Amino acid sequence: MRVVVFPFDLFGSAGTGAGAKLLADTIHEILDDTEQESRPCRAEVLRGQVQLKELAFDTPAAVAQWRLRGRAAARQALRWGEFVLWLGGNHLAVLPLLEELAPDTLVFQFDAHLDVYRFHDTIAELSHGNYLQHFDGPRPRLINVGHRDLFLTAAEIQQTFEAVYPAWQVACDPQRVAGELQAKAHAATRVWIDLDCDAFDPSVMPAVAEPLPFGLLAPVFLTLFEAIWNGPVIGLSISEFDPGRDWRDTSLQLLGWLVEYTLLKAAER
Ligand SMILES: [Mn+2]
């Protein structure tokens, strides 16, 4: 498995780079603990199987090349055909990875927002709120899960998203949504899961810059995640985790568990 740590957090949600690094620390801890464990344990499947690549943005040159470096790192990670975990800073940090996915990849994007905003005061340049309109080349197929957007029109949404499952639909009938996601994932050539942490409800994920109420609770997220996992999932990206806003490590614990759970599931396939 390939883990890429890409703590880029410019143009929105400054502080999320620290979140990517903290999740990388969590993975190091999981691997170190496994290494030291002398009794049989489930995590043995991870031994020698996880390669971490950690990028830094601590020089002007590294920042200036962020998108090229991201694409190169994504290309490198994807070429082995192994499961890829991409730990991004803000959601924009996932763009180079999405650009490297084959256009027939179906991306299930868990996000409170539909990142195609063009408000009267939104800058036209690339930002973490509009980057889905800034793909360099063809875009993979996109399905949003869990948004709470109250601004965009259906016509605008359809220009970017093949389907959307807003939080109110999930709340009314999670089993129906899970069934549809499973069918779509199953029919896809390959599947990517993209988690913007603000898809979760702020009560279980306080560590985000733009919390929106009525988000996904952890058990419902797991229901939908499991449904999608029935498809050919090639990777998971996580972004927008800002540990400076966390409360008693609530968000860190949730994400740490999810990361370990995902790595184990991927290793056991
Ligand atoms: Mn978001």
Confidence band of 176 (pLDDT split at 50, 70, 90): very high
pLDDT in tens, 182-218: 999 999 999 999 999 999 999 999 999 999 999 999 9
Instruction: Compute how many other C-beta atoms are within 10 angstroms of the C-beta atom of residue 71.
Output: 16
Q: Which residues contact 48 (CB under 8 A, 6 or more apart)?
A: none
- CA-nearest of 196, 199, 213, 203 to 246 is 203
CA distance 192 to 12: 23
Q: What are the pLDDT digits (tens) for 3-60?
A: 999 999 999 999 999 999 999 999 999 999 999 999 999 999 999 999 999 999 999 9
**Å from CA of 196 to ligand 1 middle:** 6
- pLDDT for 116: 82
Q: Does 129 have pLDDT greater than 80? A: no
Q: Ligand 1 centroid vs 91 CA: distance in angstroms?
A: 7
pLDDT at 265 > cutoff 70: yes
Maximal CA-CA distance, the chain = 60
> Cα dihedral angle (150, 156, 162, 166), rounded to 10 degrees?
0
Query: Mean pLDDT throughout 85-108?
Result: 97
Residues in the 5 Å CB sphere of ion ligand 1: 111-113, 196, 198
More confident residue, 134 or 97: 97
Report the Cα–Cα distance between both ends of the chain, in Å, rounded: 12
**Cα 9 to middle of ligand 1, angstroms:** 13
CATH architecture assigned to 2-268: 3-Layer(aba) Sandwich (3.40)
Would you state the pLDDT for residue 134? Answer: 81
Per-residue pLDDT, 142? 97
What is the 84 CA–ligand 1 centroid distance (Å)?
Answer: 21
Give the Cα separation of 4 and 54 in Å (integer). 6
